[in-house]
Amino acid sequence: MSVLSALAEHAELASALTHPLVGEAAAQVVGKFKVVRTELGSTTMDFREFVCSQLEEALAGWNITYRFPHACSRRLLSGKSRFVRTLPRSQNSTAR
């Protein structure tokens, strides 16, 4: 996973791939994603709360203000459309 996430975030790493078929397949994703790396240590948070808090923190570091709806929200069928509307226009095309 670390190799995949590194390639997804950093296009310049594709030149380090030695197998031509792997390089060809990787071309679909290299440099097209922002990656959030985190570790789930000793916590009493539920998994959704942990993931959402880590994503909110990373987004804030990229100057994107976003708060995930509370898990008990009746409107929480899918937060994706709201999330995609929050992204800057240049990132919307790769977020789908």
Which DSSP letter does residue 75 get?
T
Per-residue pLDDT reduced to its tens digit, 52-75: 999 999 999 999 998 888 877 655
Q: Which of 47, 82, 45 is nearest to 66 (CA)?
A: 82
The separation between the first and the last C-alpha atoms of the chain, rounded to the nearest angstrom, is 21
Which DSSP letter does residue 10 get?
-
* Domain ranges (residues) in the chain: 1-35, 39-96
Instruction: Tell me, rounded to whole angstroms, the distance of Cα 7 from its chain centroid.
Output: 13
CA distance linking residue 55 with residue 36, whole number of Å: 7
Q: Which of 44, 43, 72, 38 is nearest to 57 (CA)?
A: 38
Provide the 3-class DSSP secondary structure of residue 85. Answer: helix
Per-residue pLDDT reduced to its tens digit, 3-58: 899 999 999 999 999 999 999 999 999 999 999 999 888 888 889 899 999 999 99
